[in-house]
Structure 1
Amino acid sequence: AAIPMSRFGKAVLLCLALFAAWRLCSTLFTAALPGPRADPAEGSDASCLPLAREVGVRAAAGTGSNFVFSPLSIHAALAMVSSGQRRSTSCTARRPTSSSAGSTAWRRRPSPAACGSTGGWRSGQSSRPPARRYGATAESVDFVSGAEQARLRVNTFVADATKQLIRDLLPPGSVDSTTVVVLANALYFKGVWSHPFDVFTAPFHVPGDTTVGVPSMTTGRSQYIALYPGFRALKLPYKNDAWQADEYMLILLPDGGTLSLADLYDKAVSTPEFIRKHTPVEEVPVGRVMVPKFKFTFGFKASSDMQKLGVTRAFSGGDFSGMVSGGDGHGRVSISRVYHKATIEVDEQGTVAAAATVILLDGAALEESKPPHLVDFVADRPFLFAVVEERTGAVLFLGHVVNPLMCG
């Protein structure tokens, strides 16, 4: 006969089970992450920052448009490609990303704030789909007779994975009878500020010597602020009840007339450690604090920019025999198109953001200066922002705001 267990014994058993599950998840995911001092060029999303700079500077030119981009999402998609290619692929041609390092950038430690999904669709010629190595089930589709249905299936996958924030990523005609493999990943993030903000209307200076009134966040609490030559930085941590707070938003605000957004982009991509080294580490008393609320979406076709940055082999018939077999091409297909779209909403409660990337394959730090007794951080002009995971330094999202009222 079974021996009845006391209520205390059941509680102890439950705690042991939960602890064992936590240790298992922590081991599986944390072991896949690069160490704090790992070379980002060897597999983190830092190698994709030059692509963000290329597109961001172009978006900010002239009167400018808002911009948001996920280096992590782009890197994860390329990591799947690399796992099926004899020679690996990265955002820049300087130092290729290995497939093992690629997997570390996507298999993050579980967090209530962020989650990712991967998917793969292959023709009958494809084998060993790399998406399976990233926790996704690959599907076989007929791109010859069902190209449009395949496109809709990919778009549905992305929309579901991003809670309907990213829709219609693949435009009509993007998938056709020459498509062999489609790889996709999606990232969804929702973070609540450690301390919510008050809201008021404040002036914001947009390009073209125009000032608009925008709903803005403010607080009298001490904040993580640091001053650097030509710009200042504000760190806004997100609350995380289940884990130690890992994610935060970093805002880089150029001093008026000293630096442009392009200058800040140059600094952000100058060294892999720039964002980590320019993240404030101490709270300081504040004078005036103002950060505008904003919400917008940005999408683009990344293929030409990636080739401009030196990624050419994968677009001109690389060896994908690890992914595709059969036929007389011996696996020598090529990347034909790369689509990326990201969206972000920031208000007094926190941040909701999402990003997705789909790849189609066819036949120096500056010295920090000591802040004064009270520090102002008034983001009343265009600025850069990033959503960062603190422990690994992974950049989940990067972008800029030139007009908080612009939603496109």
Structure 2
Amino acid sequence: MCCYPRDASGFLGICYHLHSRMFLYLFLLTFGLQATVHCVPHNISEGKVKTCHLPQQNSTLYKMPSINADFAFSLYRRLSVENPDLNIFFSPVSISAALAMLSFGSGSSTQMQILEVLGFNLTDTPVTELHQGFQHLICSLNFPKNELELQMGNAVFIGQQLKPLPKFLDDVKTLYETEVFSTDFSNVSAAQHEINSYVEKQTKGKIVGLIQDLKLNIIMILVNYIHFKAQWANPFRVSKTEESSHFAVDKSTTVQVPMMYQLEQYYHYVDVELNCTVLQMDYSENALALFVLPKEGHMKWMEAAMSSKTLKKWNHLLQKGWVELFVPKFSISATYDLGITLQNMGVRDAFAESADFPGITEDNGLKLSYAFHKAVLHIGEEGTKEGASPEAGPLDQQEVPPLHPVIRLDRTFLLMILEKRTKSVLFLGKVVNPTKE
């Protein structure tokens, strides 16, 4: 069942013009038990083509988009409450995959709490099918694409005094593309350098020095990351960008931002029930963005109502038509300590002395201490040459209706990045102040 706007292959497509690239990087860090999501590299030119192996197309695969989307909005609402009036930005699917991997090595109430927070009911979803579902999800997301770079994975740095179970090493590599490294945490400086070097390599140098002031007595570190880089299907003209345009942060605060402009046909919809305008923009391959602009004073109402059902409703109601669109050019980043957030959501035992991780190691005392998460987003043109996208001539202008809606993202709006093939919410955020990175 499709949750999101569709094109001819299952998603609603959209014609828009934006020759910019978007870079998004996410890191989930848990000190005490910390892991890294790692994507297995592929090289088509050398004949090494990645394939996704799954025993069978189980029913969990069809439920995962909705379940993961509902977790995304649940986590979003919690972060919004904890960070009022601030930009919100994170990768729901990456966090879901990291927690699912963590549940693989957990037992008893520790496992149950993690899966319940993720939205899975073990009565309806067998554990085996759940992990196979995430295996297929991760493999599909990491599958080679011509014009879209998308990589997600895990890597565990575990104290060299501990002995991970061979079954855990094999299974997390197969199911979650996770690498496990034996690390000497008694040498804090060397351990910190090892982890930072790994992260820098996996993100192609975009994230440098992720971990600072690593503490002593670390048992295991899980670092989760997702790397996304894509081009819009059609370019904004650089010459049409307003270098300084008003953006209302709140009733009393206005900032100046560059504002990109386009008159083009877009799939859009005015949701009267949620008092918001929705606009869809495609990337050149297998991904799309949804911009959601609520009416002034209706952000909290819309936030409270967002769910997978909302995305399904928009899927059916988005209509294509001419729109005058103004989109700010901006960068946004957000860093969270997800430890308290996850505990408030119900993942309690994993951070307590009663934490139970028998699937990872036979050694006792393994628990989560902190959970840090960082996501970064950049939206902007790449300097499209004027000759590459000629101005519309008189004939083209005659085809544009004299009256058409104007959508100007000049106040707080929501942003979602969706992957078409898996119907996954790659990124979810709220842009309150586009000048705050």
TM over 0.5: yes
What residue in structure 2 maps to residue 80 of structure 1? 101
Alignment coverage as a number of residue pairs:
345
| 2: CA distance, partners of 1:146 / 1:32 | 46
**SS of corresponding position for 1:347:** strand
Q: Which amino acid in the other structure matches residue 283 of structure 1?
A: K
Q: Which amino acid in the other structure matches residue 341 of structure 1?
A: K
What residue in structure 1 maps to residue 78 of structure 2? 54
Matching residue within 33, 47, 70 for 2:91: 70
- Answer yes or no: is the 8 Å Cα contact 2:258–2:329 preserved in 1: yes
| 2: CA distance, partners of 1:37 / 1:202 | 43
Relative distance call for 1:380 and 1:252 in structure 2 (3 A) is same
Q: Which amino acid in the other structure matches residue 74 of structure 2?
A: P
Kindly provide the CA deviation profile for residues 15-44 of structure 1, in whole angstroms up to 9, marking residues without a partner as x.
xxx9xx89x7455389789877414576x3
Relative distance call for 1:160 and 1:117 in structure 2 (3 A) is farther
What residue in structure 1 maps to residue 416 of structure 2? 386
Relative distance call for 1:294 and 1:381 in structure 2 (3 A) is same
Relative distance call for 1:303 and 1:395 in structure 2 (3 A) is same
Asked if 1:213 is matched to 2:256, the reply is: yes
Relative distance call for 1:301 and 1:275 in structure 2 (3 A) is same
Relative distance call for 1:49 and 1:149 in structure 2 (3 A) is farther
| 2: CA distance, partners of 1:80 / 1:152 | 25
Gaps of 5+ in 2: 1-43, 384-401
- Answer yes or no: is the 8 Å Cα contact 1:36–1:393 preserved in 2: no
Give runs of aligned pairs for residues 131-170 of structure 1, distance below 5 A. Answer: 131-133=172-174, 134-143=176-185, 145-170=186-211
- Answer yes or no: is the 8 Å Cα contact 2:154–2:224 preserved in 1: yes
| 2: CA distance, partners of 1:256 / 1:212 | 17
| 2: CA distance, partners of 1:45 / 1:139 | 31
Moved more, 200-209 or 68-77: 200-209
Q: Which amino acid in the other structure matches residue 161 of structure 1?
A: Q
| 1: CA distance, partners of 2:55 / 2:266 | 29
| 2: CA distance, partners of 1:169 / 1:32 | 38
Over aligned residues, Cα RMSD in angstroms?
A: 3.0
Asked if 1:234 is matched to 2:258, the reply is: no
Deviation of the 1:404 alpha carbon: 1.7
What residue in structure 2 maps to residue 340 of structure 1? 373
Relative distance call for 1:211 and 1:180 in structure 2 (3 A) is closer
Relative distance call for 1:39 and 1:70 in structure 2 (3 A) is closer
| 1: CA distance, partners of 2:269 / 2:233 | 19
Q: TM-score, normalised by structure 2?
A: 0.71
Q: Which amino acid in the other structure matches residue 379 of structure 1?
A: L
Q: Which amino acid in the other structure matches residue 119 of structure 1?
A: A
Relative distance call for 1:94 and 1:27 in structure 2 (3 A) is closer
Moved more, 215-224 or 113-122: 113-122
| 1: CA distance, partners of 2:338 / 2:205 | 22
| 1: CA distance, partners of 2:261 / 2:59 | 36
Asked if 1:203 is matched to 2:246, the reply is: yes
Give runs of aligned pairs for residues 2-401 of structure 1, distance below 5 A. Answer: 25=50, 27-28=52-53, 37-40=62-65, 44=68, 46-59=70-83, 61=84, 64-87=85-108, 88=111, 89-90=114-115, 92=117, 95=120, 98=127, 100=131, 101-109=133-141, 110=143, 111=145, 112-123=148-159, 124-127=161-164, 128-129=168-169, 131-133=172-174, 134-143=176-185, 145-174=186-215, 176-177=216-217, 179-198=218-237, 199-200=241-242, 201-229=244-272, 230-240=275-285, 246-257=286-297, 259-260=298-299, 262-268=300-306, 271-279=307-315, 281-286=318-323, 288-316=324-352, 317-326=354-363, 329=364, 333-348=366-381, 374-401=404-431
Kindly provide the CA deviation profile for residues 52-95 of structure 1, in whole angstroms up to 9, marking residues without a partner as x.
22113433x2xx33221111221121122111112432482754
Relative distance call for 1:168 and 1:263 in structure 2 (3 A) is farther
Deviation of the 1:140 alpha carbon: 1.0
Relative distance call for 1:341 and 1:142 in structure 2 (3 A) is same
| 1: CA distance, partners of 2:380 / 2:284 | 14
Which of structures 1 and 2 has the larger relative contact order (alpha carbons within 8 angstroms, sep 6+)? 2
- Answer yes or no: is the 8 Å Cα contact 1:70–1:342 preserved in 2: yes
Relative distance call for 1:165 and 1:27 in structure 2 (3 A) is closer
**SS of corresponding position for 1:108:** helix
| 1: CA distance, partners of 2:56 / 2:80 | 33
* Percent pairwise identity: 26
Deviation of the 1:281 alpha carbon: 4.2
What residue in structure 2 maps to residue 9 of structure 1? none
Relative distance call for 1:180 and 1:105 in structure 2 (3 A) is farther
Q: Which amino acid in the other structure matches residue 53 of structure 2?
A: L
What residue in structure 1 maps to residue 7 of structure 2? none
